[in-house]
């Protein structure tokens, strides 16, 4: 079993130290480990050119991104792992953009529902299947690292890291919200923090090889989140008792009693979180239905002609507003 640790922070600084601490524990628990620091890597953002989808649709066994940069180093390391532990710094309240660039290029093009459905069709037609590493179950753990001394300035750190789970249907077994680094100085001085990071490595290593429904571990920080799936603290509120976890996309019922707010989540909702088979298929069918509605609209001759005419002003924006 192989566990990949990725640090999106500076070399030998906090993210590196904490993810390596997790990897030492994973090694101790019997895993092979690999560490990558991304600071010197160039990982551009997704250009939405659809090259990756075309690889899949024309029958290739591998899905590739056509941008020529260092993304492929991380991509290959990820395919080969059975578990992943990511540490990334919080910049401007959210996770550093390089992490999101990596996620955008890797995850949506490997959406598990699309991979499974593509393989079903190929099997029926006797064609070669997609690389089996795309549909491998993996366990994950996350470390969000921030300088601020309260959670106030790291609010989107862990939620953004958890977005890495859903396309590949990973199961997260723990996270650490390592804020307050400005005061801590070095994470090495905070022994409890280091123990929490180490517990992530142990949890991922111990989970690998087990089916998801047999793993109910939560490691790292104490489980004080509100969502029962991602264990984050964030909620979308629409003025009613119905509240949504924006990371998992599931709905709960909020109640107030004896001076305390609670949120109750049904089993049905938990089972439709984005990082579950039901959740990923819900999204798959949503996209299929969009295509059914959108394509006839755009190919309707009247609509097509109207769009062409109207587009003239958008194409010539600079000339019209005098920006030339
Ligand atoms: C551009 C920039 C923005 C930052 N914004 C935040 C922030 O909003 N909240 C926070 O807690 N820390 C913020 N920090 C501090 C980093 O999260 C902190 O230094 C962290 O330790 C960096 O990880 P590293 O030490 O592994 O490189 C910011 C740092 C930089 C460079």
Span 227-241, pLDDT tens digits: 999 999 999 999 999
Alpha carbon nearest to ligand 1 atom 22, residue:
89
What DSSP assignment string belongs to 112-161? Answer: HHHHHHHHHHHHHTTPPPP-GGGG---EEEEEEE--SSSGGGSTTHHHHH
pLDDT score for 56: 94
Q: What is the pLDDT along the chain (324 residues), one digit of tens a residue?
A: 999 999 999 999 999 999 999 999 999 999 999 999 999 999 999 999 999 999 999 999 999 999 999 999 999 999 999 999 999 999 999 999 999 999 999 999 999 999 999 999 999 999 999 999 999 999 999 999 999 999 999 999 999 999 999 999 999 999 999 999 999 999 999 999 999 999 999 999 999 999 999 999 999 999 989 999 999 999 999 999 999 999 999 999 999 999 999 999 999 999 999 999 999 999 999 999 999 999 999 999 999 999 999 999 999 999 999 986
**Residue 154 in contact with ligand 1 by CB distance below 6 A:** yes
144 in contact with ligand 1, CB cutoff 6 A? no
Kindly report the average pLDDT of the chain as a whole number.
97
- How far is the centre of ligand 1, averaged over its atoms, from the C-alpha of 16 (Å)? 14
Pocket test for ligand 1, best of 7, 16, 90, 181 (most atoms within 8 A of CB): 90
**Closest ligand 1 atom to the C-alpha of 90?**
17
Q: Are the C-beta atoms of residues 46 and 103 closer than 8 Å to each other? A: no
Q: Check: CATH 3.40.50.360 for 2-224?
A: yes
Q: What is the pLDDT of residues 152-177, one digit of tens each?
A: 999 999 999 999 999 999 999 999 99
DSSP β-ladder status, 83-91 and 2-7: parallel
Tell me the pLDDT tens digit for each residue of 263-276. Answer: 999 999 999 999 99
Query: What is the rounded distance in angstroms from the CA atom of residue 135 to the CA atom of residue 137?
Result: 7
Q: What are phi and psi of 219, to 5 degrees?
A: -115, 175
CA of 7 to the centre of ligand 1 (A): 13
> How many angstroms separate the Cα of 189 from the Cα of each of 19, 90, 197?
15, 20, 13
Sign of the CA dihedral with 138 first, then 160, 202, and 227 last: negative
Q: CB of 89 closer than 6 A to ligand 1? A: yes
């Amino acid at each position: 079993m192989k566990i990949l640790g990725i640090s999106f922070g500076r070399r030998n600084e906090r993210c590196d130290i904490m993810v390596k601490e997790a990897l030492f524990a994973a090694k101790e628990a019997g895993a092979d480990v690999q560490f990558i620091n991304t600071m010197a890597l160039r990982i551009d953002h997704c250009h939405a050119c659809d090259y990756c989808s075309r690889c899949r649709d024309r029958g290739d066994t591998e899905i590739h991104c056509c941008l020529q940069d260092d993304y492929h180093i991380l991509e290959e390391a990820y395919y080969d792992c059975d578990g992943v532990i990511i540490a990334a710094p919080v910049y401007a309240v959210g996770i550093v953009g390089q992490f999101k660039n990596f996620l955008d290029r890797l995850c949506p093009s490997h959406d598990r529902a699309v991979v499974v459905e593509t393989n079903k069709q190929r099997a029926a037609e006797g064609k070669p299947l997609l690389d089996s590493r795309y549909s491998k179950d993996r366990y994950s753990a996350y470390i969000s690292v921030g300088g601020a001394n309260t959670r106030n300035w790291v609010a989107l750190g862990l939620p953004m890291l958890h977005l890495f789970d859903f396309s590949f249907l990973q199961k997260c077994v723990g996270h650490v919200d390592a804020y307050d680094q400005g005061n801590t100085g070095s994470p090495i001085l905070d022994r409890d923090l280091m123990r929490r990071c180490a517990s992530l490595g142990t949890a991922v290593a111990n989970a690998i090889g087990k089916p998801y429904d047999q793993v109910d571990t939560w490691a790292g920080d104490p489980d004080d989140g509100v969502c029962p799936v991602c264990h984050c603290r964030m909620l979308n509120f629409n003025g009613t008792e119905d509240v949504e976890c924006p990371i998992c996309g599931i709905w709960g019922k909020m109640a107030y009693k004896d001076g305390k707010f609670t949120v109750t989540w049904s089993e049905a909702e938990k089972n439709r979180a984005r990082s579950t088979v039901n959740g990923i298929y819900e999204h798959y069918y949503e996209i299929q239905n969009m295509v059914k509605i959108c394509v006839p609209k755009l190919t309707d001759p009247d609509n097509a002609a109207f769009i062409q005419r109207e587009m003239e002003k958008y194409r010539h924006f600079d000339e019209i507003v005098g920006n030339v």
